[in-house]
Amino acid sequence: MTKPRRSGSETSETRTRLLDVTEQVMLADGYAAVTSRRVAADAGVTPALVHYYFKTIDDLFLAVIRRRGAQYANRQERALSSPRPIHALWELSTERAGTGLLMEFIALANHRKEIAAELAEQVAESRQAQLDALQRLVGETDAVDLPPEAMLVLIASVSRTIALEESLGMEAGLAQVAEFVERLIAVVDDHAN
């Protein structure tokens, strides 16, 4: 009879370091650069130790996604309970590091169904929390002819497009579309307050 495989503690400093390094590698060189050898070398440990904590690289990716998802949920909760929740949500959505990491995971999800399922679940939960908060905030307002669901998709898609195009060195129209979204958010914020 084989002993069950042991894996490292969820609260271990080494595990946390491996997750941090994985994010850094993804942001610097893309998800394809994440290997147990690369993560181990950058973290100053052996590849075997990476596999002690994460049986597969997909397990490592899922741990990063779940940790980031929990962090984002906490930050989103604070943003949505702030005095200007839509503006705070826009600021959170336009953070380049978070958006860049999300783009890497979206690319990875094209090839890995388990990653895609985890991302879809987290985005659905996040979007529902945003929608609940926005509906409480603006109610049945007609300040802008834009349903709350559409506003949330607009914020998410514009922030990702800006991050993607900036990463490619593009500039045309990005500042203008960001200003447009910020003006729209100001109208809704002003009407809600």
pLDDT digits (tens, 9 = 90+) for 137-153: 776 555 567 788 888 88
Among 182, 24, 179, 177, which residue's Cα sits nearest to residue 100?
24
Predicted TM-score (pTM) of the model is 0.81
Q: How far apart are CA 50 and CA 21, in angstroms?
A: 11
Spatial separation of the C-alpha atoms in residues 147 and 192, rounded to whole Å? 14
pLDDT (average), residues 97-106: 83
Burial label for 151, CB within 10 Å (0-12, 13-18, 19+), is buried
pLDDT in tens, 3-53: 444 455 566 899 999 999 999 999 999 999 999 999 999 999 999 999 999
C-alpha to C-alpha distance for 152 and 148, rounded to whole angstroms: 6
| pLDDT tens, position by position, 68-98 | 999 999 999 999 998 888 889 888 888 877 7
Separation of alpha carbons 63 and 41, rounded Å: 19
Q: Is 8 exposed, middle or buried (0-12, 13-18, 19+ CB in 10 A)?
A: middle
Mean pLDDT of 146-168: 84
Sketch out the chain's domains with CATH numbers. 7-55 (1.10.10.60), 64-192 (1.10.357)
Picking from 131, 193, 173, 183, the residue whose alpha carbon sits closest to that of residue 156 is 131
pLDDT at 13: 93
The HSE-up count of residue 186 (CA atoms within 13 Å, CB side) is 6
In one-letter notation, the amino acid at residue 159 is S
Euclidean distance between CA atoms 27 and 33, whole angstroms: 10
Minimum mean pLDDT among 37-41, 81-85, 111-115, 117-121: which range? 81-85
